[in-house]
């Protein structure tokens, strides 16, 4: 149980990162019929519609690539290409385009934060920290809000590497205005730090700053689970889902709660299925035990 209890805090990173970076890049998240003639016709129509959508997406990518070539100093166009490629399920191509955008402007925050998130999801934390070092070390200047988003990413990567003190130091570099933009990361670090009781108090206090923020309720749920309050944790995870049903992390945490705190495997499988329909990131390798009947994750090669 100890391994899984600790891992409850892992998946929240993706959720917090997504919430924080949404201000700059957006958090993009990407069916069956009965047999018979009508169903067959519906499948054909659906396939045609899908092909049409794919063609439109490819046209948009090519058009943006052409504009990127016409304006070789402008980072927005390769960033736009990356957004379209990511939406089309081409993460390796999206990463390449993001690096082109950053090559044109090393302080272009939308590309920095989008690439930071992509590297986080692949566990490439040291690489991400090297990418974000110029901002962290003030070698490039950014407006307060953009700097806050980038340093939030720094903190998340440091925390993923188990370096919570370095994560807190990254946030300490923010101005008062900038710090106001990252309560989710501060709340996450509070959920991990100190005793279980102090984590509960700290994450409860963070809710006063954002009572309607799903990430903060998710973090508070983690702290409550650390304190062995499964019922209280469940309420917080459910509240996070109520506030943002598309957020994947609370479902993952509920799967852990059901499986290793309540020993209810059927309920855990159901929660994991809900999670898997929203995200295939699996930091605690739950798929091996709870992913029955679900399609396995498809890994595409990435640029290392």
pLDDT at 23: 32
- Residue-wise pLDDT tens digits, 124-181: 999 999 999 999 999 998 988 888 889 988 988 898 888 888 988 888 866 554 555 5
3-state helix, strand, coil split of the chain in percent (to 5) is 70, 0, 30
Nearest to 111 by CA among 67, 146, 68, 61: 146
Domain count, the chain: 1
CATH number of 247's domain: 1.25.40.10
| The pTM of the whole model exceeds 0.85 | no
- Residue-wise pLDDT tens digits, 203-223: 888 888 778 989 889 988 988
Note whether residue 31 is domain-resident: no
Backbone angles phi and psi of 121, in degrees to 5: -65, -20
Residue 273, helix vs strand vs coil: helix
Note whether residue 83 is domain-resident: yes
For 22-26, 120-124, 188-192, which range has the lowest pLDDT when averaged over its residues?
A: 22-26
Note whether residue 263 is domain-resident: yes
Compute the average pLDDT of residues 110-120.
Answer: 92
Domain that holds residue 152: 2-24+44-290
């Amino acid at each position: 149980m100890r391994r899984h209890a600790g891992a409850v805090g892992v998946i929240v990173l993706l959720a917090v990162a997504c919430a924080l970076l949404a201000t700059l890049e957006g958090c993009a998240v990407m069916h069956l019929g009965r047999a018979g003639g009508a169903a067959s016709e519906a499948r054909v129509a659906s396939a045609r519609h899908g092909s049409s959508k794919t063609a439109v997406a490819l046209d948009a990518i090519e058009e943006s690539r052409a504009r990127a070539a016409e304006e070789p100093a402008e980072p927005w166009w390769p960033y736009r290409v990356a957004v379209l490629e990511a939406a089309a399920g081409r993460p390796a191509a999206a990463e390449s385009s993001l690096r082109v955008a950053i090559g044109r402007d090393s302080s272009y925050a939308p590309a920095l934060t989008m690439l930071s998130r992509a590297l986080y999801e692949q566990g490439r934390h040291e690489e991400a920290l090297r990418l974000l070092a110029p901002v962290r070390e003030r070698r490039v200047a950014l407006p307060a809000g953009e700097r806050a988003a980038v340093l939030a990413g720094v903190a998340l990567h440091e925390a993923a590497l188990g370096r919570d003190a370095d994560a807190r130091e990254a946030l300490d570099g923010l101005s008062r205005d900038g710090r106001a933009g990252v309560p989710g990361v501060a709340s996450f670090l509070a959920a991990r730090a100190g005793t279980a009781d102090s984590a509960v108090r700290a994450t409860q206090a963070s809710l006063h700053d954002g009572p309607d923020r799903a990430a903060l309720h998710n973090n508070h749920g983690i702290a409550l689970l650390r304190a062995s309050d499964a019922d209280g944790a469940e309420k917080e995870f459910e509240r996070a889902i109520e506030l943002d049903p598309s957020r994947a992390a609370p479902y993952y945490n509920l799967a852990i709660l059901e499986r290793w705190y309540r020993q209810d495997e059927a309920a855990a499988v159901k929660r994991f299925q809900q999670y898997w329909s929203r995200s295939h990131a699996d930091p605690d390798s739950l798929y091996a035990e709870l992913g029955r009947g679900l399609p396995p994750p498809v890994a595409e090669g990435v640029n290392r």
